[in-house]
Structure 1
Amino acid sequence: MADQKHVVIVGAGFGGVRLAKELAKENVRITLVDRHNYHLFQPLLYQVSTAVLSAGEIAYPTREFFKNYKNVEFFLGKATGVDQERRVLMTNHGEIAYDYLVLAAGATTNFFGNESVARNSYAMKTLQEAMTLRSHIIHEFERASKKTSPSLTEERRRHLNFVIVGGGATGIEMAGALMELIQIFKKEFHSINFDEVHVTLLEAMGSVLPMVPPDLQQYTIDVLRKKGVDVRLNTAVTEYDGNDLKLNNGEVVPTKTVIWAAGVRAQDFIKDCGSKVDRAGRIIVEENLLVPGSDCVFAIGDCANFQHGGLERPLPTVAPVATQEAMQVKENIMALIAGKTPDQLGKFVYKDLGAMATIGKGEAVMNGPMPLLGFTMKAKGFFAWFAWMFVHLIRLAGKYSDFTVSVKWIWNFFFGTRVSRIILSKME
């Protein structure tokens, strides 16, 4: 229709897809822009990198969401900037004019300016990165299996030394899953002495999982150490050249594998969108989620810094924040279309859904209000792990993924089977 307003959404992550779904029911025209043609369930990337799941089980074709909505168009391209004066989004495939723009571009890995780490470590924010890491891990065992001579002991151990940097949920989950993958390899790599295999988790702060209470933090550390993970707190990385990892205490760790899970930042183009950003490159938004100085550009999710209503720090970069912000932006856009002014828009208030992290098979921690379960709770162990599985399954896109992922989780729990141990890259 000629009088339809055009809403452009950058990013097909949790916030972008949720917003597009909600706006699709209204009399507006929507263009959803993303550089990939799929929606990625990022919380399970570590399971792709450790061969629990395959790529197609955590990625869902974006166009499939909107096949029944003629007012939604998907645009495959990379956003490069915003010209607010002309009201156009700039991409690598041309400009897109908008009436309202929503920046929901997600985040990328934050190496905090350490170029040597950025060049040589393995990140895990994209599907390609997770698959590359999976191939690399399997490659390292294959390489080590060929170096059985005592004269090659130091080189072999470098292949079998795995370091994970970051004690947040991603680092914790990766460490637990990697140790379980190693248990499977014990039965398959007959020439490797698994006493030489070492997994280290480094955290620069004095605790892991800052979103849970101290007792659950200690429980997490105890479980990881029981699994064989060398957990080191107050330990930061200073340099990594692909062979040796240097730490702030002067120690040098010989390793071919550093997995970086220590932080995220906004996508690079966000800083070119005409507004003030924080140290992580996120736009500092108003209470109504508008970009300061604009009456038609919003920012949500991992590329937005929201710190209002007495919050001591900005809201975390997690899916529930993005999806709740999407609902508020939908209401505010429709209010603007109806003739309201920016100062009449609704203010965003985050409803905490709690925090959870899995530490491995049958082990997890959870804390905080859990509306999906109907009560508030703090839990650990098997019950928390089961709740973690339930919450993640209901958030997956597509019935096929729900079925196959649940079957693989059950099969893995009872039999330790991981059939996605396929190397996709060539071995030197």
Structure 2
Amino acid sequence: MADVPHVVVVGGGFAGLWATRALASAPVRITLLDRGNHHLFQPLLYQVATAGLSAPDIAAPLRHILRGQPNVTVLMGEAVAVDKAARNVQLANGTSIAYDTLLVCTGATHAYFGHDEWAPHAPGLKTLDDALAIRRRILTAFERAEAETDPARRAALLTFAVVGGGPTGVELAGTLAEIAHHTLRKEFRNIDPDNTRVLLLEAGPRVLSTFPEALSAKAMRSLARLGVDVRTGVPVSRIDASGLMLGEERIDAHTVLWAAGVAASPLARTLDVPLDRAGRVAVEPDLTLPGHPEIFVAGDLATVKWGERLVPGVAPAAKQMGSYVARVIRARLTNQAAPPPFGYKDFGNLATIGRRAAVVDLHGFRFSGYFAWAFWLIAHVFFLIGFRNRIVVLLDWAVAYWTYQRNARIVLGREQK
């Protein structure tokens, strides 16, 4: 296939994978480049971090997913720069990959609002490595508390603070409360996990700010029933190795988790175009780079207008962008008219708070509680990659529902904090 156009896709997330699969029968050769060897279902990443699921349950090898697509070559490597003039992608190992068409969709990373020194003390959740490190930190805190004799240090070990009241923060806080008050019951001799303190800290006026106020209020009540201490309206002003400052209040906490902000992948800076405050690229209506129709940017890396708002950085949006890019490329290959500008189809918002508690907003059809939780569960299982993953996740969730047990409670590696 050396004589057909070469499409390079950087990033094997939702946008990259959906674009690649949509070009399965196109007369192109595709190189899919990713730092890891797997596609990750990020919406369930917090379940790995809180020991509800194992890493393979929400991930699948890219080579396996694309094994039946002969026009794709999968490479594991890290892109560090894009040379627009030479039309190549430069890799961390010093090599480069030439392209005719390029799709950049390397996603987002953590943003600490100018306080990068907080990162070692408040890890974020974007990758499987992050999830496993957070799981280790959570489980080790209980183990250290069991051996601790000083009451103040023990209290700090049993204090968990989640910074950021979006869906990830709400899901983390609710699950941490369930672990403490149900999963670990009767397993320790020197501590009572019921004494665990879980805080959810949101600088804005309410949690789940992208949801209607009524659903946000219901989420707050569900969190309170789980025993989560929700604080809103006061920003975190400092995070260190022993805790944080919430305004002027000192909170001693061994485990602080970051769910407050994201920034686009640093690869965007090498495109030499204006970026927004989060480091994202303002693309043309067809998702191309201004002045470079051969370069597409999609997913969390792109700033895309959606009426008076911006397209949100969620999985459905990334999938739609990837599929749209494939349609544009196909139209060019056949000299057909380009499709109309990208239009985002909003399928609604979902967030789970804990056992039998969730909130759902589907174009004004809003509900919460058990039925919302069941809807959330079905939707997430449906969109998982692979039949095996769907079955395993369903079985794990069924066991957890009836027993409160979390079967992935294995501490791997050594805690660094």
TM-score by length of 1: 0.94
| Structure 1 match to 2:31 | 31
User: How many angstroms does 1:49 deviate by?
Assistant: 1.0
Offset at 1:414?
1.2
**1:57, CA displacement in angstroms?**
0.4
Amino acid at match of 1:256: H
Q: Determine whether 1:141 maps to 2:142.
A: yes
Deviation of 1:68 (Å): 1.3
Partner of 2:131: 130
- Assess if the C-alpha contact under 8 Å between 1:165 and 1:260 holds in 2: yes
Name the counterpart of 2:400.
Answer: 412
Q: CA deviation at 1:195?
A: 5.3
Contact 2:184/2:193 (<8 A) preserved: no
Measure, in 2, the Cα distance between the counterparts of 1:103 and 1:254.
41
Q: Distance in 1 between matches of 2:141 and 2:231?
A: 23
1:368 paired residue number: 362
Who is 1:120 aligned against? Answer: 121
Is contact 1:332-1:346 (8 Å) kept?
no
1:122–1:257 Cα contact (<8 Å) kept = no
Letter in 1 for 2:226: K
Q: Give the superposition deviation at 1:116.
A: 2.8
1:285–1:299 Cα contact (<8 Å) kept: yes
CA distance in 2 between counterparts of 1:247 and 1:274 reads: 38
CA, structure 1 residues 2+49, in 2 after alignment: closer, same or farther (shift >3 Å)? closer
- Name the CA distance, whole Å, in 2 between partners of 1:25 and 1:408: 37
Tell me the CA shift for residue 278 of structure 1.
Answer: 0.8
> Partners in 1 of 2:243 and 2:126 — Cα distance?
23
Alpha-carbon contact 2:9-2:31 (below 8 Å) kept: yes
Residue 336 (structure 1) aligns with:
332
Match of residue 373 from structure 1:
none
Residue 372 of structure 1: aligned partner: none
**Aligned Cα RMSD in Å?**
1.4
Structure 1 residues not aligned, in runs of 5+: 370-375
Unaligned runs of 5+ in 2: none
Contact 1:84 1:274 in 2 (8 A): no
The answer (yes or no) to whether the contact 2:243–2:255 under 8 Å persists in 1 is no
Secondary structure of 2:351's counterpart equals strand
Q: 1:88 matched to which residue of 2?
A: 88
- Inter-partner Cα distance in structure 2 for 1:403 and 1:194: 31
Secondary structure at the aligned position of 1:296 is classed as strand
Cα distance between partner residues in 2 of 1:68 and 1:82: 29
Identical residues among aligned pairs (%)? 40
Structure 2 letter corresponding to 1:363:
A
| 1:295 equivalent in alignment to 2:293 | yes
Counterpart contact for 2:396–2:407, Cα < 8 Å: no
Task: After superposition, give the CA deviation of every residue in 1:117-161 in whole Å (9 maximum; x if it has no partner).
Answer: 12311211110111111111111111111123xxx1111111111
SS at match of 1:70: coil
Map 1:76-225; keep pairs closer than 5 Å: 76-93=76-93, 94-148=95-149, 152-182=150-180, 183-194=182-193, 196-225=195-224
Deviations 1:255-302 (A, max 9, x none): 111100002111112111122111111111111111111110011110
- Once the two structures are overlaid, the 10-residue window that deviates more, 7-16 or 110-119, is 110-119
Range moving further from structure 2, 350-359 or 411-420: 411-420
Amino acid at match of 1:269: L
Structure 2: distance between partners of 1:185 and 1:119? 27
Report the CA distance between 1:340 and its aligned residue.
Answer: 6.0
TM-score, structure 2 length as denominator? Answer: 0.96
